[in-house]
Amino acid sequence: MKPVRTRFAPSPTGFLHVGGIRTALFAWLIARQTGGQFILRFEDTDKKREVAGAREHLIRSLLTLGLEYDEGPDIGGQFAPYTQSERLSSYQDWAQVLIDAGKAYADPYTPEQVQEFREQARKEKRPFLYRNHRPENPPAWDGTAPLRFKSTPRAYTRIDAVMGSLRTGPEVIDDFVLIKSDGYPTYNFAHVIDDYEMQITHVIRGQEFLASTPNYLNLYEALGFEPPIIATMPHIMGPDGKKKLSKRDGAKDVLDYVRDGFLPEALVNFIASLGWNDGTEQEIFTRAELIAKFKIERVQRSGARFDEHRLQWMNGVWIRSLNIDELYDRSREFWPKSSAGYDDTYKKRVLGLIQERLKYFAEIPALTEFFFVDLPIHMELIDNNKQLKKLERTELKQLLEHAHVSLGQSNFSVEDLTQRLNGLLEQTGQKPGVLFSLIRIASTQAPFSPGLADTLSVLGPDVTLRRISQTIDSLL
């Protein structure tokens, strides 16, 4: 495959949601798989929508997910600058080329006049088009009026790398604004110029630009540019698959997921799977596998469903693939304050016990708290337990007393504890559902915990026996 040049061209207007980062990821993947370049460009021509800090945030999001770019606003490159507001002279130059060729004109109308044209079109039941109102003798463009493209309406049959063959008629072609009266170009104009000057070969972007693409093709023609290959990403849908994903469905900023302890490799894996698979049942892909296997043509045309449970499952798979040292290293900042006095070896043992069920690191405090502090005794844990609530308090107390004696003689190795726990079953004639639940509640004060013998072994004799005694006392 020939090396390609792709770009991610966000506007610094806020947070980076999964849809945005998916576009970036796909552009990055095809650049990497062909040994090409991935470029970051800031499209900041709409000053009113700009949000402070958004640029740093976008950069941090890309780098956190490992989508490093080869050229960009902060690192420069052959076609610098990579920020549209710093490229105004380029747009002026190309605007002049269009004016000279008779393909752009100053828009002489006031908003009120345009409103009248619209009304008139509405009354006559025809669509409003600017090109029906081209001024006969437009004033020379002095930069104070908007500059409009003089389009050449025609039909297009084009191939979108994802959407396939698309046909549109001349009625969708209109005279759009190239440069606004504030001197800034529109997105419609600026991105065509930039993609050309930056030698972008593949444009990957969201579905919101699909309808305007014939107009861009018309502009490419007027400028004599070869259009790039265009791949339009379908929307990402909410969990019900019917509505576009919204914040209400749990669509968070990518860095929010990182803050919750989702691993970048799992996020990349999950985001790649939104609307793409390799044609097999494989779901877990490393970054290297994605680079090798991703094909833009295999992105599905219909909206991809966003399911946060699937992301949690996938993150769990990635968590289980790490060895304990690495997992511990990467989860360091998520441990509860109460763990501060405990050493790494102890915490690693705890981590080893929860690794199997851990979905993301922000769950660590809730899953591990009882390894670090004595929690208050909650009688409801016993009272609400289906099996335990059938027993009298005196029976419960006796069971715990037996346990205290037997465990008090243990060396607290997992093997010995397992043997003793099984011995207690025989001795008391109880089912594990009763006896083990009771010992678990007494020693952890948690309704769930990892395997009982493993848990007690990590807690050690002092803590285990103390907590069992305390529970016995409170059963009086």
Report the catalytic residues: 247
Under a CB-based contact definition with an 8 Å cutoff, are residues 223 and 323 in contact? no
Q: Segment 32-71, which members bind ligand GLU (CB under 6 A)?
A: 43
Q: Is 229 exposed, middle or buried, given 0-12, 13-18 or 19+ CB atoms closer than 10 A?
A: middle
Choose the binding region for ligand GLU from 4-12, 403-411, 417-425, 458-466 (rule: CB under 6 A): 4-12
9 makes contact with ligand GLU (CB under 6 A)? yes
| Alpha carbon of residue 411 to chain centroid | 47
420 binds ligand GLU (CB under 6 A): no
Alpha carbon of 195 to those of 148, 233, 425: distances in Å?
20, 18, 73
Closest CB to ligand GLU among residues 128, 187: 187
Which of 5, 22, 205, 347 lies at the binding interface for ligand GLU (CB under 6 A)? 205
Rounded distance between C-alpha atoms, residue 95 and residue 97, angstroms = 5
Give 43 or 175: the residue with its C-beta nearer to ligand GLU.
Answer: 43
Among 103, 191, 293, 347, binds ligand GLU (CB under 6 A): 191
Beta strands in 185-285 (DSSP E): 202-206, 229-233, 236-237
Task: Using the rule CB under 6 A, give the single segment among 6-14, 166-174, 266-274, 373-381 that binds ligand GLU.
Answer: 6-14
* 42 vs 335 by CB, closer to ligand GLU: 42
Specify the residue, 24 or 290, whose C-beta has the smaller distance to ligand GLU.
Answer: 24
- Closest distance to ligand GLU from the beta carbon of 263 (Å): 27
Distance between CA 255 and CA 276 in Å, rounded? Answer: 22
Cβ-based nearer residue to ligand GLU, 145 or 178: 178
Q: Is 5 in the site for ligand GLU (CB under 6 A)?
A: no
The label of the residue with tokens 């107009």 reads 215
CA distance 356 to 377: 27
Q: Please tell me whether residue 87 binds ligand GLU under the rule CB under 6 A.
A: no
Cβ proximity of 336 and 365 under 8 Å: yes
* Residue 11 makes contact with ligand GLU by CB under 6 A: yes
- Measured distance CA(317)–CA(90) in Å, rounded: 49
- Based on the shown chain and the rule CB under 6 A, indicate whether residue 151 belongs to the binding site for ligand GLU: no
- Give me the least distance between CB of 43 and ligand GLU, in Å please: 4
CB 67, min distance to ligand GLU, A: 15
Residue 402's CB: how many other CB atoms inside 10 A?
A: 17
Q: Kindly state whether residue 103 participates in binding ligand GLU, applying the rule CB under 6 A.
A: no
Three-state SS for 178? strand
Rounded to 5 degrees, what angle do the CA atoms 11, 16, 22 make? 100
Classified as helix, coil or strand, 372 is: coil
Q: Which residues bind ligand GLU (CB under 6 A)?
A: 9-11, 43, 187, 191, 205
